[in-house]
Structure 1
Amino acid sequence: MLSAARVVVGAVLLAAPGIAGGAWIGDPARDRRTKMIIRGFGARDLALGLGTLRALDRGEPVETWARMSAFGDIGDAGAALLGGRGLGFARTCMTVISAGTAAALGTAAANNLD
Structure 2
Amino acid sequence: MPIITTKTIIIIAIFAILYMLFIARKTARRQLDLYDLVMLSAVAIVPIIFATFPQLAYWLAGIVGVGFPFVVMFGILFAILFIFVHRLTVKIHQLESDNRLLLQELSLLSQAIDHNDDAG
Q: Which has the higher contact order (CA 8 A, sep 6+)?
A: 1
Same fold, TM-score > 0.5, yes or no? no
**Greater Cα radius of gyration, structure 1 or 2:** 2
TM-score range, shorter chain: 0.3 to 0.5
If the length of structure 1 is used for normalisation, what is the TM-score? Answer: 0.37
If the length of structure 2 is used for normalisation, what is the TM-score? Answer: 0.35
